[in-house]
Amino acid sequence: MEAFLVSTGIVALAEMGDKTQLLSLVLAARFRKPWPIVLGILVATLANHGLASAVGSWLTTVMGPNVLRWVLGASFIAMAVWVLVPDKLDDDKANNAPRMGVFLTTTVAFFLAEMGDKTQIATVMLAAQYKAWFAVVAGTTLGMMLANAPVVWLGEAITRRVPLRLVHQVSAGIFAVLGVIALTGWGS
């Protein structure tokens, strides 16, 4: 349960102001069809985070516990720094959506936008730390949906009211604490 709850919270916070959240806003404004957009986000996130979690689980089989502890600790601290850098959406990519329908356009755009993204890398690290593939994928997917679905339905009004800088700082703090916990081996 801890893996699920931590994964949900970290990804929901890390996703605030992220390029995929901005992509949600662009898709909602462009297509004005929230259900296919939200379903596309769900499918893309399940696929992307499922693969990322599998990589994280695999890492635990090829790295010894000490090496894994240092890699995870350093990675979480690096994520803390990375979260403080706000994302910007490349307008050209958003405006050249292929003619494959709202659902498929959203699914492909989201899957590609998540490649190498903070939340994908966080999913790899969480799966390696907790060794709980299903709980991590379920948690990170829920976190992604909590951050993106409201943006699709409520659009720009919600992004104007959320203090993104504070959300980024809280998220960075959580990643930093997880990094220190991993490095010190506290709780294991």
Tens of pLDDT, residue by residue over 138-176, are 999 999 999 999 989 887 566 567 666 776 677 678 778
Tens of pLDDT, residue by residue over 104-148, are 989 988 888 888 778 888 899 999 999 899 999 999 999 999 999
Q: What's the pLDDT score for residue 156?
A: 59
Write the burial class of residue 136 (CB in 10 Å: 0-12 exposed, 13-18 middle, 19+ buried).
buried
C-alpha dist (Å) from residue 162 to 2, 32, 51, 140, 159: 27, 22, 31, 21, 5
Q: What's the pLDDT score for residue 91?
A: 44
Q: What is the DSSP letter of 89?
A: -
Q: What's the pLDDT score for residue 56?
A: 85
- Quote the mean pLDDT of the chain: 82
Nearest to 141 by CA among 35, 27, 15, 33: 15
Percent of the chain with pLDDT over 90: 32
**Mean pLDDT score, 4-10:** 95
* Ranges of each domain in the chain: 2-184
Q: How many CA atoms lie within 13 A of 130 on its CB side?
A: 24
Q: And the tokens for 130?
A: 């907790």
Nearest to 114 by CA among 19, 183, 179, 31: 19
C-alpha angle 60-65-68 in degrees, rounded to nearest 5:
65
Q: What's the pLDDT score for residue 95?
A: 45
Considering only CA atoms, give the Rg of the chain: 16
Tens of pLDDT, residue by residue over 19-54, are 788 788 878 877 778 999 999 999 999 999 999 999
